Amino acid sequence: MKMLSYFLLFTCCIEAGLKAQQLDPAPPIKVIENYTIELTRPWRSGLLKVETLYSRISVEAHDIDFVDIEIHDLQGSNEKYNSLDPNRWKNQELPFSFSENENDVILSEHAESETGLLLLIKVPEKFSVKLKSTVEDVFVLDLKGQIEANTKVGNISLNRIYGSVVANSVLGNIDVYYKEVTPRYPHAVSTLKGDLKLVLPANSSANVFIGCNNGKVKSEYPTKTSGKSDQNERIKVINMGMGEASIGLRTYFGNVNVYKS
């Protein structure tokens, strides 16, 4: 009887908890600022350079000829950003500064910033990006230009991309989902302590070199070991098609997974 009452109490508690969760969902991410940058030469491709310390960076490519920057408050707890204020940029109240010169858009976070913000940036499809976040994650979606992404702690996630990739993290995971692999420039993805995930279309023409010192390599494509000496056993190679593009993957403490798309 006692057991039953405990069980009923436990069930009630769980239900109450679930209801509380439903009634009180996570606070919505607030847009605290929005800014559109008209490009000087919209017919040409350009470069977006973003450097942050504590802010998350998310870049989406669209069929547009301007750059749109939205700043979101991830925690919803930054009261000073409770209302939208179009003068914030002008008054330099935001912890960012930006400049635009001949399609090169540069956005950098001030050193004194400590807020957990998200920069959601929409760019034209052919833009190239150079993104750097010290602590937070970096996302890129649907981009056709070249990508350079660096983090120290945050993860890097590049989805449905077409351009060449150079990405490095110290303690973060890196996911790269190629929609198409371009052979124009070599690709290099590395992390010291983190997993690497690569998704490649089956019709890719590329050679993938995988260096994995203290982890496992799993691949849906056949791999072979490069070289004959013992020291080379850590390098695995995937040969695809004519091998026009070169993709280098390297993790020192982590696993590597390669999937077919």
By CB under 8 A, name the binding residues for another protein: 146, 148, 150, 164, 166-168, 170, 185-186, 188-192, 211, 213, 229, 231-232, 234, 246, 248, 250, 252
Q: Which is nearer to another protein, 45 or 78 (CB)?
A: 45
In degrees, to the nearest 5, what angle opens at C-alpha 188 toward C-alphas 184 and 190?
170
Least distance to another protein, CB of residue 75, Å: 31
CA 69 → CA 32, 77, 93, 217, 243, distances in Å? 11, 20, 16, 38, 38
Q: Which is nearer to another protein, 115 or 150 (CB)?
A: 150
Beta-carbon contacts of residue 8 (< 8 Å; ≥ 6 apart)? none
Least distance to another protein, CB of residue 59, Å: 17
Least distance to another protein, CB of residue 108, Å: 15
As a whole number of angstroms, the distance between CA 7 and CA 71 comes to 47
The DSSP-derived string for 84-107 is --THHHHHT-SSEEEEEETTEEEE
3-state secondary structure of 158: strand
Return the sign of the alpha-carbon dihedral for residues 88, 92, 95, 96: positive
Q: Which is nearer to another protein, 115 or 146 (CB)?
A: 146
Q: Which is nearer to another protein, 155 or 164 (CB)?
A: 164
Per DSSP bridges, beta strands 66-73 and 117-124 are antiparallel
What six digits make up the tokens of 58? 């998310």
Q: Which is nearer to another protein, 35 or 252 (CB)?
A: 252
Least distance to another protein, CB of residue 209, Å: 9
Q: Which is nearer to another protein, 52 or 168 (CB)?
A: 168
Least distance to another protein, CB of residue 111, Å: 18
Least distance to another protein, CB of residue 182, Å: 10
Specify the DSSP element, H or E, that contains 19.
helix 2-23
